[in-house]
Structure 1
Amino acid sequence: MKNVAASNTPANQLHTADEDTIDLSQYWRIVLRRKWSIALVTLLFFVLGLFIAIKSTPIYQASAKIQADPVQPNATASDQYIMNSMVFLFYETQYEIIQSRKIAETVVDKLNLVERYRQEQAQLKLLGEETSLISELKNSIKGLLASDDEAQTEQVPMTDEQLRIMLAYGIQAMLSVEGGMQSQIINIAYQSDDPEEAAEVVNAIADAYIEFGLESRLGTLKDTAKWLGNQLDELKATLQASEDKLAAVRNSSGLMDSEQQARIANTQLSNLNTELVRAQTLLSQAQEMYSQVQKLDRSKGDYLSLGPVLQNQTIRDLVREESNQKRAVEELAERYGEKHPKLIAARSDYSGAVANINREVDKIVENIAKEYRLAQVQLENVKELTAKTKNELQSYQGSSFEITRLEREVENNRRVYESFLGRLMEADVSGDYDASNVRIIDRATVPVFPIKPRVSLIVAAALMAGLFFGVVLAFLREALGNVFRTPDQIEEQLQIPSLGITPLVKNTKTSVAPEKQYLADQRSTFAEAINTIRTGLLFSDIDNPPQTVLITSTVGSEGKTTLAINLAVAFSQLDKTLLIELDLRKPAIAKDLGFKNKKGLSDILGGAELNSDVLNQLEGAANLDVITCGTIPPNPMELLSSKRFAKLLDSLKTQYSHIVIDSPPTLPVSDAAVLSKLADCTVVAVKAEGTKINMAKETIARLRKVNANITGIVLTQASPQKMSYYGAHYYQEGYYGVDPKQA
């Protein structure tokens, strides 16, 4: 439960959050830390790139610009449409044609490269060297084309055809073609170490490409004309046979042209249909008028209301006259009596006018009835004639079916024949037209400056590659580094607190030895680092601070003795302190501190008394006594495991407030494991960038097996400047409150 609670503390949560955050400054510090290795790799790449650029053979490039129109100069409208819709395929095809072996072989023939090659070889045999581009192409391409058996056997002279193919492959290898996507321009480029040769080859390729296009088109036209001529003879015979057969059928049936006959019949039928519609219209009008007459007869109505009667001019005159007579009768009736002769005469005139109107109306009514009967007769006649014409047309169509089929066959044969005849004439005319759809815009000129090697580009690329690989190598070394570099790394890998560091002391003629750094200047950064370690030990158990402190390491030369001496001097500033050298196999304290006394711990355990002959005093540390190894014993392990040593250590605890023990390394011997059980706490010295992580883990595992109280780890010989690359908090220029110049 305590572990769970501890994992949920704010400090642990903050640590987890820091791990999840990408610290870019950490990567920058790695680069700064490995800056010299990065600079070295970059310099090596720079020198390599410069060497390649200087030693590379200059390569010249000549280029020509041509215009390729997808539409042929004499193409038809349909051909133009097809070519425009396939313009992208056209240019891709032209690229392949220009780079084909056919074009390359044509260039070899045009420039007589086979003969030039043989002459060059003859000259080289006299000179005893091969330096030309053609020779290099010969060696490289010949090696690619040759089989294993040919490579093993003695080379035989190559034939002209083999040389021709070999040189064509060489031209293909150095040729590049591009363009034609947004315009009709195609750029042809060729590279060679001979600038004149490059220009010659490019111009020859452009000419060969134009000639190839003309030959291909004219060859196609000739083949087309030949095929059309053969087909035309057969089509002419077929047309003649179909025409003869049609004439025979017409003569035997006595019929004229079926199309003309059908046209006449259709015209007659159309006219009859028009008359039929007109007769139906007239009948409808007459029937309507006749119906009005019959209706008036049944109702005894007045015929004067009929349209034809009202529109008749005679009826209008008679009605006008009848109206005048009627008005005259009315006037005379007012003036005279019924027997008056004038009134009688007027009445007689009026009756005559009415009779005249009735006679004219009866004539009009009779005409209406006659027109109705006539319209009926005319409609029947038109219907009979239309039916008769339809029957005749159907009868004709049945009898002229064979003629129509033969006429259609003749017409089809004539169209095919005329089409083939027109194509043949076009092919004959096109065959005489030698214009090309390809034109040379710019011919190649002899290049003045080489395009390869581009020294600046190669050097820049080498610098970039060197910088890249240098950084990659730096990160790789950092990731694969199996040593300790910072106190944080110690705590992360070993899960043990870090008590601090001992700064690296540069070994110069004027510098103080690392073992005497604390005595030389107690306000230096080194002394402050030792004080930090001392404070960490005292506060490791605030209620019961450790009295005996065991200093050990993984292997030798990790700075444990230096740590033990300086830590003992630091404890002596607080109270009476004893420094015991228990590294009985390779003692170094007496030599480092300049003690003349040869007696020490081994002599005490051998029976010598603990007096001034054994206790050494260090100048500048009044409260510090030092017991060195003394005579190197043959059996160190037995001495340290003896009860006498345990009693001696207990006796010393009563005399000193602090005891610092310099023990042997843990991995080579087991002395430290035995001594750790007698000490209150154990401190493991780990050399910065020296101690392997797996070795340190093994040291901790061995000490824990004997239940040693491992209080913490000290990173020795650490360079604060180097550690600053892993975090600015590791670097301190001087002791707080001290002028760096004085410090």
Structure 2
Amino acid sequence: MRQAGLTEALSGLDALGRIWRRRGVFAIVAGAVLALAVAALVLLPVRYLATASVIIAEQEPGANTSAAWAQKVGDPADMESQLLVIRSPRLLRQIISSPGVAGAVVSECERGRLLGSTDACQRLKTDVGAFIDHVESRFSVASAGRSRVINISYQSGLPDVAQTLANALTQTFLEDQRTEGANSREVASSWLWQELKQLDQQLREADDKIQKFRRTKGLMRGANAPISSERLTSIGQQLSQAEAARAEAAARLQEIKSEQERGPTDAPSVLQSRTIADLKQQLTTVSAQLASAAGVLGPKHPSILALTREQASIQQRLVEEMQSIAASAQKAFDANTALVNSLKKQMETAKAEAGSATLDEASIESMVRDTEIKRQQYAELYKKASELETERRVLRGSTRLVSLAELPSKPFFPKKIPFLAAGMTLALIFGVGAALLADQLGARLISPPVPVTPEAPAQQVEAPAADEAPAIVPELAESVTAPETATPPPERSSHLPSVADVSILACLPRLKSLREMSALGAILQGHQPLAIPRVLRLASEDTDFQHALRDLVHELGLKRSARSQRIVVTSPDAGDGKTTTACALAEHLAAAGRRVLVVECDVSHPAFAEIMALPASPGWLGALERGTPLRDMILPTAHPSLDVLPIGATTGPVGDILDAISLDGLLAGLDGYDAVIVDTPLPSQRNDFLAGTDWAIVCVRSDRSLIEPAVVTVNRSRALGARDVGIVVTMTDVEHRSPPVVQTAPVAAYAGAG
């Protein structure tokens, strides 16, 4: 069975029982609260809510998408800015001039004034400040979730007034957005047209200046270039041709002169003449005839003489023709030389004019470049001005209407079902609180605590109520039973319930150090483990813990026993408070004047050397290894009545040392003590380990959810030979601890126990 679920169930049943006992108080308080809720539902004025919606940051028609605009879409800062604009008094001043708004607000004000004059309501038509104060608190403007939609709502007792005011503010906001966008574009457009006008004037002046400069400098342009450049090019071409012709004439003249000196007429320039060719042909013919006739006729023959004269005439004509050709070549050479000289002079003049024109052209180019830049700027500004003018004419604003407010048909406040549900919830809460408070006050007034003397037997103490039982043990005896083979223990006089036929001897409270930390630290202290030395110090100062130890001493019968008793303290798991309980019980008995010996047998977790600040010692393990008496290994503590036998250490393997010994044999010879307290886990194989012990105390934490390990440990203790077995619940809450059954001793008696 799980402890946590059972504890919650019992606590719930106990609370229901207390409410049932005070059901009259519950009914009265719950009925009164519910009646107040119904009365409020009937008497509270009904209010209607009308809501209109707009969406913001939509791209405007004709506007180019930019990075700034894309960043603006859905920006929370932009949404908050729009919300502030809608709530601004500027827009509230504007809606007063909307049709029907002033009359609607006046009618709303007059309906709310059941008594008194209505002059203040009539003043809302003219007093803008009073109008804003009246409607500002009734408007609610908020964004719809994470969207770009803004809801504009107005609350009023009249549904038509709520609709009118919500739509008026919505329309005013939309118109304000359109007007603001149009005005900004109109200002920008006007500035652009003014700039365009100035640029146009500057362009005209620049063009006039360029043309005037061209005329002044004579920088007229030809087909492909300025006149000076084209003229220089033409003269250069003519000069090249003249120089080529002169060179050719010089070559011909030189050739003719050289041929004249040699005599032959085979020069190429001479042979090119048609006349020379004909004369040479005639000369050849006559020479052939003369040679033919000379073979037949004598030298004085008339035919020979005639042919000789004709031959001489042809040769004379040939010489004269050659001289004519030479004279013609000389004239051609002289003419070409004169042309070359003339063209060179013109070239020098053209070069000077072209150089001067180049500087002027550079100035002209600079002026033309500046003019072209202004023309481009003019074109861009003209395009932008045209776009702004178009946008201004078609602009509808970045805010668009989603829906206007409809006439509300159902009241917004109060709503019957949620109002009644809240009233019933409050009635139930106040009723339960009143019933529990009445039961608590009644219990304090009717049942005062009964004092108990130290000598009173435990049977005379009345068992605590169900809500005062420890958290770990309510009704566990009914659900968990011991095996049939276990020997039933003798009846005990404990006032606490039992587990597996084993009495719960005491409930040790959880210790907290509240004086050394802040309030927050004190709250968190219950969730932080404390070191055992600190726990023992706190236990010696904690009155509740000392009361629990007195209960334990009483249940163990240590005060009534005159002989030495052996008490074994064990636990199902580590961390259940076994070592703390053993040391605290030993210090408590020593503080009461009893001689106590504490024996450490926890091989896995030895801690006595640190807890008691003991010097290094071989302990009983070293004594068994060396064969020395165990009494020589006992160490005294700061308290004269408390001695310790630590476990010590050995050079050999420890292993399952507890399976090889029995406590009766180990503690033999350790006489002279009123109580011997052994801190040990249970071995797994030794069946007589607890033989000769008077008590086996099983420590169980109160916050353990399972009780089965505790039952197994109890049955194992009985099987190992324990005479009496009891349970000590550790780390319980103070409110669950049973009332003390013995008289408290002075706190000063425990000053040396920690």
- Please, what TM-score do these two structures have when normalized by structure 2? 0.39
* Structure that is richer in helix per residue: 1
